[in-house]
Structure 1
Amino acid sequence: MCHHHNSSDSSSLIPSDREVLPNNVKPLHYDLTIEPIFENFTFKGEVTIDLHVLERTDYISLNSLQIEIQESKLNDIELKNIQFDVNKQIVTFKLDDHLVEGADAKLYIKFTGTLNEDMAGFYKSSYQENGETKYLATTQMEATDCRKVFPCYDQPAAKAKFTISIITQKELTALSNMDVKETTLIGDDKKLVAFNTTPIMSTYLVAFVVGELNYVENNDYRVPIRVYATSGTENLGVYSADIAAKTLKFFDKKFDIEYPLPKLDMVAIPDFAAGAMENYGLVTYRIVDLLIDPANTNATTQQRVTEVVMHELAHQWFGNLVTMEFWDGLWLNEGFATWMSWYAADSLFPHWKVWESYVSGTLQQALSLDSLRASHPVEVPVKKVDQITQIFDAISYSKGSSLLKMVSKWLGEEVFISGISLYLKRFKWGNTYTSDLWQALSEVSGKDVNNVMNIWTKNVGFPLVKVEEVDDKLILTQNRFLATGDVKPEEDQVLYPIFLGIRTSEGIDETIVLSERSITIPKPANFVKINADHSGVYRAAYEPARWAKLGQVGAEGKLTVEDRVGSVSDASALASAGLIESTSLFNLVRTWTAESNYVVWDSILNKISSIKSVFIFDDESIRKGLDGFVLDLIEDKFNEIGWEFSDEDDFSSQNLKSTFFASAVSSGHQGAIDFSVKAFDDFVKGDKKAINPNLRAVIFNYVAKVGDETTFEHLLNIYKTSESEVRIAALRSLGRFTKPEILDKVIALLLQTDVIKQQDIYIPMQGLINHKEGSLKLWEWLTTEWDKIYKLIPPSSSMLGSIITIATSGFTKQEHKDAVEEFFKEKDTKGYDQGLARALDRLTIKINSAKRDLGPVTQWLSVNGYSK
């Protein structure tokens, strides 16, 4: 593999203390045969690795973890001296003699392992069919779990070819990355399925699935596309198979490189830790992210499934064909696949207007996490395995994709795509550094992408641009933004090149870049708003009078949807950091009662709802007052559109109705509440059409909130007997119960893995943190059951950090934070230290907001007639 790097360049990028395998030999090809044994949930296998010797050596080291080696040979001579370093996850074979540089060698290993329950490596997944528990075996190798399946060079840059064979019962389906070459019967009841050899690829993309699976096939594309699922659910894969065909055609054309494999399989897996995994040619998914019945699915879920499929298929080029050199380049993979999935969705489903919801969703997730001290740069130096799982977060995905959005806006979308195509062609089948992408983009655009982007990807955090008006001038100043509002001078050294995008009544001026601390420009006559359309990764702060003015021009229709959404988000974040009053946010949006865009309403109502959640442990009256404000805001529009759905409702009107309905119910709108109670009653009595899919979650949540034992039994039963999306809505609603004796039952379910799958444990938790009783019960559960939780969800899984984040996120008082710090003081936080630090940061923000806002918000509500 010839890299376009001079050696000084690439070696300086690799930290010297990175835990990696020695570079004395390299793998060229793996011949692997593996057999899952369902009777006792083990597997056995043998692998022959063709090696090329790079330097004279008397040992070979591979990654290996939780695997027992029965026998090993080098060039047919048995190896006796084998050493395991469990901590570093390495097995070393000592040789009697030396291998010389340039030689080739064959290493044979026979081994066994356990089909685990950790959703990592080669694991078992269970499901119910006609009251019987059944199992399938599947893999999840990313980031570093291929070493749990067979000894290998488990690093992204150690690409090789794989010839895989699977031995299993003859009635089961066996799938792998490639198509089947031949199937041979063994004895009466077994078969060996041999697959064709893969192209050169990384170990983290190797995959196989074995179980009772059926499929639907789509032939609209050059190669066959199949969606596999457990028997009887495969017909729910028709939608995703169709999306996959359209998406592969789209990417073939855009990248100007054809999808290189002979088939594409997508499989719904009952137990799955993430959302989906882009294994080359065999993409695996959590059931809810792949299988849907479009006729009974709400608009948001349909969009999510589409985007997940597009995200995984973008990876077939970006990540699988061209791969980051090591995990510190993870953002290249994930940020790009995220950006690309919207680009595809925007082209194929223009009526979704995904770039509008990008501003309220992804961009805010990025800014929210990156405004904490416990954030990290987009390019993060990763040295140890336990650091890798923690970077699969909103920085790698959301900030990464937001920076790409910024570049694509700067260079122009078509130029950006042709730069991507050049990059993919240049490094096809190889490994890259971030600088390779900037280089390709510089070549096609003629702009200095490298120097601009390095500042954005190598530093933590982002700027706040303050807009001050002095006479006929505007002074624009950048400083670091922290959500805690307490930036220290030493944290504010970096100056970013900021594309200001200044919107005035004349249009947008894209020419001005703020790359120093402060600049002064002439003040436009009518109005001014910076960061037009919010394609810049920063926040803007205006003077109080200017927020009200933005509200006015917003109401007059002079700002785009992106501008309206972005302003609401900026105002909300500044208020939460104490840089402006929360009442500035109220004043910005109170005149927007005629707003008709659901993304804007979503933002407004979410922000008010998060202010409400800050007072969850305070006097009820302030929350009631905010409810009154919300009902007043939505009244005109809500009366006009109501909550009846018809086939004429397009995507955005479905979303608008469900947004309003949710807000009406949570703010105490009697009509919407009465409807919820009746609709649920009819639904339980057997009228499955009584609840529109778009209102399902809201209605389930409400009846739980006021519900008794009977409601609990109903919702638990709906959860147990329904398909994907309905199940999840019912499961989440269980957390909304407020009666203590029902809460105890909900809490007791959290660790019953036969009722709630480990992958879904966080879902009822998301319901619990919406009320103070739930928050307190959840924390009590976490601290009492910590040892069990830790065993069930080990720190090697990124889920542990999420659980800590959720379990603490309802809290708003100093004594809560003290309790959290006290509990974790003596614990070994390896594997979730980032998650804990972020949770504590977020607690600080809430505590300060609650203290600071109590007075001003109470007064504003009183002056405006909303006090109860």
Structure 2
Amino acid sequence: MGGGFYISKFVGVVGIVFGAGAVATVIALAVVYSQEVAKNEAVSPTNGGSTIKPPVTTPGGSTVKPQITTPVIPTTAPSNEPWDKYRLPDTLKPDHYNLTLWPRLTVNAQDLYIFTGKSYVVFQCVKETDLILIHSNKLNYTKWGDDHLAKLSALGSTPAPTIKKSWLQPTTQFLVLELNGKLAVGESYQLDTVFVGELADDLGGFYRSVYTEEGEEKVVATTQMQPTDARKAFPCFDEPAMKAIFHITLLHPPMTKCCIMILIKTSYCPLFSFPNSFWRTSFDKTKKMSTYLLAFIVSDYDYINSTNDNVLIRIYARKKAIADGQGEYALSKTGPILKFFEKYYNATYPLPKSDQIALPDFNAGAMENWGLITYRETALLYDPKMSSNSNKERIATIIAHELAHMWFGNLVTLRWWNDLWLNEGFASYVEYLGANEAEPDWNIKDLIVLGDVHRVFAVDALASSHPLSSREEDIQKPEQISELFDAISYSKVRSSVFSTYLNTFAYDNTVYTDLWDHLQMAVNSTGTSLPTGQTVHSIMNRWVLQMGFPVVTINTTTGLINQQHFLLDPSTAGSVPPSDFKYEWIVPIRWMKTGVVQQQTWLEDKTAHKPDMIVTGNNWILANLNVSGYYRVNYDNTNWERLLGVLSSHHESIPVINRAQLVDDAFNLARAKYINTTLALRTTKYLRSEREYMPWESALDNLDFFYLMFDRSEIYGIMQTYLKYQIEPLFKHFGNITGNWTEVPTGHMDQYNQANAIRVACSTGMEECQTLTKGWYSQWMKDSANNPIHPNLRTTVYCSAIAAGGAAEWEFGWDQFKAATIAIEADKLRSALACTKQPWLLNKYLEYTLDANKIRKQDATSTIVYIASNVVGQSLAWDFMRDRWNYIFTQYGGGSFSFSNLINGVTKRFSTEFELKQLKQFQADNSEVGFGSGTLAVSQSIERTTANIKWVAENKDSVQTWFTTEVPKE
């Protein structure tokens, strides 16, 4: 799954890079997308006992006479009963499902959208049992003749035992059937159910998405099953290892289309006479697959299509979006990316078609449903008149991410969610390779460092981080599963040789050690040497089974190098859980000496002596060349001074990726007290001569921390003056090469850096920049039908103009947001509206996030974070979140991935004892309500705030002195 909240998106996999076809180094990637999802646990037909009246019509057309059930829940059930645990017992194994669903796209008499369904699952008994547990959440069941919630039949010669008792267990989300006898090992049985659910707008399970097209409100019935919401659509064995085949039939209104992951049989038949006729669409059986990868959709969308090597490719979207050509870019890139992955995996694409569909309401960035990938509109639809360079890149990378899953995740699937990183981390890496194939001129692979490595470092350097792989028994509840969709799980691995792995485990489930076995086979077959006595298992287990990463310190005067667990706050070392590996890693070190690349070396122990790394005179050492390893690097002071000298005199002699790395390492080493803060600040002095995007972006990301700590203090003014001085040459450079801002730079990275130049120049008060952006925005206000602002610059210009303006500029932006027919344009305006400096407008905007008619539920939490990112709005957002937490948590559901982003985003500026006290009180006050997938984020926020308080106390004076000294004298 691709994330939806791209302040990063925000996660990962530690892996192995193959050089010359074999393992050469261990690397970690980082958060491609820190996922934002906005799930709303809306009121449902059944949530532990409510009913729907009157009787409804079954998918077959007849009226259900039995009453909809009120679950019977044993009140004295001991807590160690199987139905009070969250995992399925290992007694039953599903073979196939037959499922018919009928979503109603209009409200019923109770003003609810509902769906009805009938289903049977055929399963085999693998261990003798007198109990059937099958997942079910928010479904209401029709009782059968024996007054039970399901009907059990035997498919073999041995009769099925009768049902003794049946009930729903809402906490653990089970339909429970106690039997009067034992199921026989090796025998197959069929379980039939008839049920009703709400087609809610909660973005999970089988849900509805509503949009307006040409003045008409339209409803899409769609799905999002990952990780544990298939059980909201139909009763099922809802764990990834419980793979089965699915036979699916959908009933739907005429003039609507149906799609699922496998080709349609094209058998339509009316059920009733016109105008109440409904159509029945049946689908070919699916491949053997996990429940979380199911998708089925009913809409009146259009599509465009092409065929690539006998694979049918279709892009579905709203009719107007298709008519306007917004699906053309995705269609043109899907085929080449699929072909690339077939070569990369050495495995044919396993399905006959690849459908991709853009949804108005969707909880993540995208979801890798097998053969029917679902996306937010912003992640699939591209309009050259409205979409920026970064929008295009996002579309290419997300398509590549989801297509990568068709093999790695779908064909071969994790056994349990504790190994989520095995899916997401790998896809987060190869998405760059796929996008690079689609757009070879972008040099997009370099952006792994900024997009992933630097971002995951920030999380993995906390004492509250976690290993890539957790124990299965530690991940049980749905909200614990959702909590794993973070920067660690999405980004700590690289790999390249997978064909034997995929072929061996096709249509099956694996654990991470299976991958190590097959990578070891690749090492053995190529004769590649690993460190003496080491195997892929012994190397990789250190990266997978313990949290964090090392800092490698090189003393260039003695040749001694050592490693240490890197913690952003060293005082938290006592709270780090013990590790069997004692927080030591086997580290591959690629390095150069005075610009000349040297042979890779390994650091296998805590300390080693490397005489080749001794240098004298003007010579210098640079390690972690091209950021090929997952570690930070520190040096002796003499080497740091030499590197600073190289940056100031001839920075091009250091690779551009490493210029970005030096800045990022220095700032984070300073926060961890390895070097002093002023040394880190000195790495930014050379930027007046820097024109490349990556070093500038690295510096700005790190200076953002200084702004968070000091933008409410007296230091803010001199920081602004310093950065204004530094950005001035870059701003003028882009003005010159673009014909005074009338053209677009040709380079992909240059287009990003042009936006950076304008953003920083305007935010630091450069009059020329502010005049430019206010002029563009004013011109647009005078003629709203003709926007003069280039799509690449709209996010920056909108924010700058709204921040400099008042109510009129904000209200114009709001009107344009409401009128936007393209989601990408709406997103630019939605973020820019949070830039206003008027508190009353920000408070109004916060209230809008609670109204789905103003801000879609998928966008609510990210909008709150946008407001909190504004220094004026931060305290407003914090008060708003605290005051409304019970409502927010209830509305968006405990399993929503977005809670971690919300909590971290609103509290990232905290740096005072008062704020720490408030944060701890927030944790205590809401302990009963809970934090769901944001539970770890609360602990991380407390840890981060504590570290911020210490850092400000220790560094405020020296930072103020340094900026005062470096500010140019008038």
Q: Which category of TM-score, normalised to the shorter sequence, fits these structures?
A: over 0.9
- Deviation for aligned residue 1:426: 1.2
CA distance in 2: counterparts of 1:463 and 1:490, whole angstroms: 17
Residue 839 (1) aligns with residue 930 (2): no
Residue 75 (1) aligns with residue 142 (2): no
- Deviation for aligned residue 1:295: 4.1
Residue 608 (1) aligns with residue 695 (2): no
Residue 485 (1) aligns with residue 543 (2): no
Q: Secondary structure at the match of 1:30?
A: strand
- What residue number does 2:805 align with? 707
Code of the aligned partner of 1:615? F
Query: What TM-score, normalized by structure 2, do the two folds share?
Result: 0.83
Alpha-carbon displacement from aligned partner over 1:488-546 (angstroms, at most 9, x marks no partner): 36848321111121221363334321121111222034110111111211111223443
CA distance in 2: counterparts of 1:485 and 1:705, whole angstroms: 38
- Structure 2 residue aligned with 1:726, among 802, 812, 825? 825
- Deviation for aligned residue 1:839: 1.8
- What residue number does 1:574 align with? 669
* Superposed CA RMSD: 2.0
After TM superposition, the structure 1 stretch with the greater mean CA deviation from structure 2, 700-709 or 70-79, is 70-79
Residue 524 (1) aligns with residue 615 (2): yes
Code of the aligned partner of 2:770? I
Q: Secondary structure at the match of 2:476?
A: coil
Contact 1:360 1:569 in 2 (8 A): no
Aligned structure 1 segments of 4 or more residues deviating by more than 6 angstroms: none
Residue 187 (1) aligns with residue 288 (2): no
> 1:702/1:151 Cα in 2 relative to 1: closer, same or farther (>3 Å)?
same
- What residue number does 1:536 align with? 629
After TM superposition, the structure 1 stretch with the greater mean CA deviation from structure 2, 777-786 or 386-395, is 777-786
Residue 736 (1) aligns with residue 835 (2): yes
CA distance in 1: counterparts of 2:947 and 2:487, whole angstroms: 19
Residue 661 (1) aligns with residue 758 (2): yes
Code of the aligned partner of 1:700? Y
Contact 1:372 1:838 in 2 (8 A): yes
Code of the aligned partner of 2:94? P
Residue 101 (1) aligns with residue 200 (2): no
- What residue number does 2:238 align with? 154
> 1:865/1:706 Cα in 2 relative to 1: closer, same or farther (>3 Å)?
closer
> 1:100/1:111 Cα in 2 relative to 1: closer, same or farther (>3 Å)?
same
Alpha-carbon displacement from aligned partner over 1:212-262 (angstroms, at most 9, x marks no partner): 211121234422111111221123111112111111111122212211212
- Structure 1 residue aligned with 2:95, among 28, 33, 54? 28
- Deviation for aligned residue 1:647: 5.6
CA distance in 1: counterparts of 2:438 and 2:292, whole angstroms: 30
- Structure 2 residue aligned with 1:512, among 601, 605, 610? 601
CA distance in 2: counterparts of 1:66 and 1:630, whole angstroms: 54
Map residues 526-675 of structure 1 onto 2, 5 A cutoff. Answer: 526-554=619-647, 555-619=650-714, 622-642=715-735, 644-646=741-743, 649-675=746-772
CA distance in 1: counterparts of 2:459 and 2:957, whole angstroms: 28
CA distance in 1: counterparts of 2:595 and 2:845, whole angstroms: 57
CA distance in 2: counterparts of 1:755 and 1:561, whole angstroms: 43
Alpha-carbon displacement from aligned partner over 1:575-632 (angstroms, at most 9, x marks no partner): 233332332122223124322221121112222233122102212xx22222222232
Q: Secondary structure at the match of 2:320?
A: coil
CA distance in 2: counterparts of 1:428 and 1:137, whole angstroms: 31
> 1:35/1:80 Cα in 2 relative to 1: closer, same or farther (>3 Å)?
farther
- Structure 2 residue aligned with 1:310, among 387, 390, 400? 400
- Deviation for aligned residue 1:467: 2.2
- Structure 2 residue aligned with 1:783, among 882, 903, 909? 882
Q: Secondary structure at the match of 1:46?
A: strand
Alpha-carbon displacement from aligned partner over 1:335-364 (angstroms, at most 9, x marks no partner): 011111112223342322223221122001
CA distance in 2: counterparts of 1:237 and 1:359, whole angstroms: 30
Code of the aligned partner of 1:852? E
- What residue number does 2:891 align with? 792
- Deviation for aligned residue 1:676: 0.4
Contiguous gaps of at least 5 residues in structure 2: 1-83, 145-149, 155-159, 525-529
- Deviation for aligned residue 1:689: 4.2
Code of the aligned partner of 1:747? L
- Deviation for aligned residue 1:548: 3.3
Alpha-carbon displacement from aligned partner over 1:615-654 (angstroms, at most 9, x marks no partner): 02212xx222222222322333332221625366232221
Task: Tell me the matched-pair count.
Answer: 833
Contact 2:442 2:748 in 1 (8 A): yes
- What residue number does 2:483 align with? 390
- What residue number does 2:359 align with? 269
Residue 499 (1) aligns with residue 588 (2): yes
- Deviation for aligned residue 1:830: 4.8
Alpha-carbon displacement from aligned partner over 1:541-561 (angstroms, at most 9, x marks no partner): 223443332233343422112
- What residue number does 2:422 align with? 332
Higher RCO by CA contacts (8 Å cutoff, separation 6 or greater)? 2
Code of the aligned partner of 1:710? A
- Structure 1 residue aligned with 2:795, among 672, 694, 697? 697
- What residue number does 1:411 align with? none
CA distance in 2: counterparts of 1:654 and 1:796, whole angstroms: 38
Q: Secondary structure at the match of 1:579?
A: coil
CA distance in 2: counterparts of 1:733 and 1:851, whole angstroms: 33
Code of the aligned partner of 2:541? N
CA distance in 1: counterparts of 2:868 and 2:723, whole angstroms: 21
CA distance in 2: counterparts of 1:309 and 1:373, whole angstroms: 34
- Deviation for aligned residue 1:317: 0.4
Alpha-carbon displacement from aligned partner over 1:762-785 (angstroms, at most 9, x marks no partner): 333333234432111111111222
Alpha-carbon displacement from aligned partner over 1:361-405 (angstroms, at most 9, x marks no partner): 200111111011221111122233221000001001022xxx32x
Q: Secondary structure at the match of 1:494?
A: coil
> 1:245/1:834 Cα in 2 relative to 1: closer, same or farther (>3 Å)?
same
Contact 2:136 2:234 in 1 (8 A): yes
- What residue number does 1:413 align with? none
- What residue number does 1:12 align with? none
- Structure 1 residue aligned with 2:291, among 203, 207, 215? 203
Code of the aligned partner of 1:65? N
After TM superposition, the structure 1 stretch with the greater mean CA deviation from structure 2, 772-781 or 840-849, is 840-849
CA distance in 2: counterparts of 1:510 and 1:611, whole angstroms: 38
Contact 1:731 1:763 in 2 (8 A): no
CA distance in 2: counterparts of 1:841 and 1:289, whole angstroms: 34
CA distance in 2: counterparts of 1:729 and 1:256, whole angstroms: 40
Contact 2:315 2:357 in 1 (8 A): yes
CA distance in 1: counterparts of 2:95 and 2:947, whole angstroms: 52
After TM superposition, the structure 1 stretch with the greater mean CA deviation from structure 2, 487-496 or 653-662, is 487-496
Residue 443 (1) aligns with residue 521 (2): yes
- Structure 2 residue aligned with 1:50, among 97, 103, 122? 122
Q: Secondary structure at the match of 2:683?
A: helix
Contact 1:480 1:487 in 2 (8 A): no
- What residue number does 2:377 align with? 287
Code of the aligned partner of 2:721? G
